[in-house]
Amino acid sequence: MVLTLYKIDASPPVRAVFMTIEALNIPGVDYVNVNLLEREHLKDDFVKINPQHTVPTLKDDDFVLWDSHAIAGYLVAKYGADDSLYPNDPKRRALVDQRLHFDTGILFPSLRGTVEPLFFWGEKSPRPENLEKIEKAYGFTESFLTSPWLVGGEVTLADICCVATISSMNEVLPIDGNKYPNLVGWLERCEKEIFYKKGNESGLLQFRQLLKSKLQ
């Protein structure tokens, strides 16, 4: 087994894979930095690996996969000791998948749409309409949290992937605990998990510093 992960630490999708690796205790992963700000993802050697030229990208020997959710599911299926992070039960699996699609379709686009103009286009403050999308996404997530975790009483890939995005959104627009107490409580629970501390905190700090530098 030779696992190689192409990554940039500040990226929320990359951090979702970091956290999955930590939760599964997968040893010996080879990490390769791809600096999107320097457009390294557009170099020929990386495009040959991933024509979509996105991070994270995983190589497992000669198998190549991109998209953080696809990678996370693959890692659980191949390297997980059990199915707790990505349950085999059809109903629980469907709920996890729904939350992952929510991250893909609502959470991450609202974050990316807000920070992309700051990081890449030279804008100096978030657009109000984009902050409204983040606020709306908080409201949806609040309504999902009828239990300690996004799908019941145990951590799943839904929590790992969504917290990578939501912890970053919180840097852009701090979550109002009076409006979203369930969301704040969930984020605090995630922050106590070892996978979060090892897989998310360092990259989130880099995201925070990058955001501050662009806003200044």
**Exposed (0-12), middle (13-18) or buried (19+): which is 61, by Cβ within 10 Å?**
exposed
Q: How many CB atoms lie within 10 A of CB 122?
A: 8
Q: How far apart are CA 96 and CA 80, in angstroms?
A: 16
Q: Is 204 left (phi over 0), alpha (psi -120 to 50) or beta?
A: alpha
Contact 156, 84 (CB under 8 A): yes
Catalytic residue among 11, 110, 167, 168: 11
Calculate ∠ Cα 209-211-213, nearest 5°.
70
125 is a catalytic site residue: no
Question: CA 59, CA 134: separation in Å to the nearest integer?
Answer: 33
CB 160 within 8 Å of CB 195? yes
- Enzyme catalytic residues: 11
